[in-house]
Amino acid sequence: MNYWQINLSKVPGLDKQLLAIKEDSLNEVDIAVETAASGEATMRVRGVYVHSPRDPSREGRRLVESVGKQVADGPIIVLGFGLGYAAEAAARTGRPIIVVERHAAILKKALETRDLSALFTRDKFSLTLGGASDSVLIPLRYAGNAEPSVIHNRALTQLDEQWYAEIERHIQIWKDKKAVNQATLKRFGIRWVRNLAHNMSAIRDLAGIHHLAGVLHGSGLPVLLIAAGPSLDAALPLLPELAKRCVIVAVDTALRRVLETGVEPDFAAAFDPQYWNYRHLDRAPAPRTCLIADSAVYPAVLRHPFAHILLCPSQFPLGRFIEDRLDKGAANSRITLGAGGSVATTAWDFARILEPASIWIAGLDLSYPDLKTHFKGALFETRALSESTRLSPSATWTLRSLMDALPFAAPAADGGTVRTDRRLSLYAAWFESRLCLNPPTYRLGAEGLAIAGMKNGAPETLLALPEQRNTIQCLLETAFACIKHDPTLRSQQYEAAHRDLLDGLKQIRAIAKDTVAQADAASHRPPPPPEQRDALLKKLDNANKAIGQSKVKDVASFLFPPVAEIETGLQSADPFVRHIELSRNLYQALFHATDTVCRYLTDSAPLIHK
């Protein structure tokens, strides 16, 4: 049995995957396998050595050693497989391995040359072969939250420089997104918990968006999503006519301006927890609009006079703990909305679950066209004008909002270039990763940052559609009429869930407090004898098991700081004492996190919804 047969016998279906890749620039005649000085196989592609002609295994080990100190448990991404020496060396670290190879011909030659079955069948091994560059995001999602390390086979990545550059762009977006998420949690974590504690009864009393799933299916109706970018100014004069033909979804930051055109949107979307986002609803009464909100919004948002308020599934463990016990078993109750970091991303995902014929977006610039940051009359502009002084005019506010974001030039939707920044480009990447889902999405006009998969659409296309406002109203009114609650049952379920939540958090808080006391006692005296060490380690192990089995462990850990912060300040050189100090810091942080949530749940006065 040759190597090809050995590998395919251990990895069934791999040959079909290879055949599915359509080669466009490389074939087997471009690839040569030789014997290195060490006696191992090495490879040349178009005359260039892919591995060392002397000792390719040693070269692979050195590549892995060069990134080994970066992140202890994050995935290792190998760009360019070759004969697999770097991937094999990476596998010996025990970390998740993600191999990215552009050409099926190279992988096929490797499988014919070496026995790679142990590598391909190990746990935590993923292969991205050809295809779209964003496919690397799929294995990254399943490889944990630790930052990935990247190994480059320079000969192969330079062979397909543009394709691998796109791969690295998506990897960098992944890293940036993680960093932004950590910074966002640090900045808003307490606010999210505080808002959720105030809004707990909203989860009990308000229906979920799953009641609207598929409401536009088969109707042929499009959805027009109103975002809050500068190009919204051009779309607003058309809005009265467009509203006769489209279901209108407006983000909260654009709601007041939309109402000023005489159009009351069918849906308004609010997901941000901050007070200033609530202020976007000032002077914006919308008694015929349905609000789609997250349960962590600023509490006053849920008191605004909307016709209906529906909650999307919570992004946070505290909200999900209650939700999962209220809507268990309901049709479509597991529907979730993607959190791309912007209200526009989540609003698009809401529009998608309605199952319209298409989604059109106005005001989605994700950039600063003509150095504009917002549409005319936006809250930012109003504040800048009202608070400006002779020495700090409104133009200074605009300049700061532009330059503080570190803008850079990027491709524009109209084929030119436009200024954007890292935060806005992350939103664009989120859209790119989701636009493969139905329905098709169009940008109303050609302004703003280019987004792969989003086509430019002319307003005339929508204006040519027949007027269907009566049909839209009938469909939505029927859907809202079908939303029914059993308030007695939901109240009982809510009380039981709230009680279980508080009891579980108090139990973890007590365990954490007791463990901190024991660790303090052990770390403030000479190292104990072996028998006392074993007893203390057993207590720590029991505490770990008890917390790991708790139903509320995700809620308790939500405000938990990064491990890097907990590891700072360790002083002892003795391994046992150092372990005790680290355990003490861990449980002290866990105590503060659970105590904070308990206090908010106990002290906050929940809203009452009728």
HEC-encoded secondary structure of 268-313: EEECCCCHHHHHHHCCCCEEEEEEEECCCCCHHHHHCCEEEEEECC
Distance of CA 401 to the CA centre of its chain: 24
In the prediction, which pLDDT does 209 show?
A: 93
Over residues 200-249, the pLDDT tens digits come to: 989 999 999 999 999 999 999 999 999 999 999 999 999 999 999 999 99
In the prediction, which pLDDT does 570 show?
A: 65
Cβ atoms of residues 230 and 373 within 8 Å: yes
- More confident position, 100 or 400: 100
Its sign, for the CA torsion 254, 258, 259, 260, is positive
CB atoms within 10 A of CB 52: 18
| 608, pLDDT greater than 50 | no
Termini Cα distance of the chain: 74
Model confidence band, residue 610 (pLDDT cutoffs 50, 70, 90)? very low
Cβ atoms of residues 344 and 448 within 8 Å: no
- Rounded average pLDDT over 471-494: 89
| 429, pLDDT greater than 70 | yes
Q: Could you tell me what percent of the chain has a pLDDT over 90?
A: 43
Closest CA to 344 of 248, 437, 270: 270
In the prediction, which pLDDT does 568 show?
A: 67
Q: What domains does the chain contain, in order, with CATH numbers? A: 3-176 (3.40.50.1100), 199-481 (no CATH), 487-603 (1.20.58)
CA–CA dist 323, 100 (Å, integer): 39
| Average pLDDT along the chain | 85
Cβ atoms of residues 307 and 479 within 8 Å: no
In the prediction, which pLDDT does 609 show?
A: 45
CA–CA dist 24, 34 (Å, integer): 25
CA–CA dist 407, 418 (Å, integer): 10
- More confident position, 562 or 64: 64
| 464, pLDDT greater than 80 | yes
Exposure on the CB side of residue 487, measured as CA atoms within 13 A: 7
- Rounded average pLDDT over 480-484: 89
Q: Could you tell me what percent of the chain has a pLDDT over 70?
A: 87
Closest CA to 93 of 110, 112, 74: 74
Q: How far is CA 121 from CA 13, 14, 96, 416, in A?
A: 13, 11, 13, 47
Its sign, for the CA torsion 184, 188, 192, 195, is negative
Q: How far is CA 155 from CA 44, 48, 82, 98, 106, in A?
A: 9, 7, 9, 19, 12
Q: How far is CA 203 from CA 152, 349, 530, in A?
A: 49, 20, 52
Burial of 191 (0-12, 13-18, 19+ CB in 10 A): middle
- Report residue 67 as tokens: 């990134």
Closest CA to 165 of 108, 100, 104, 110: 100
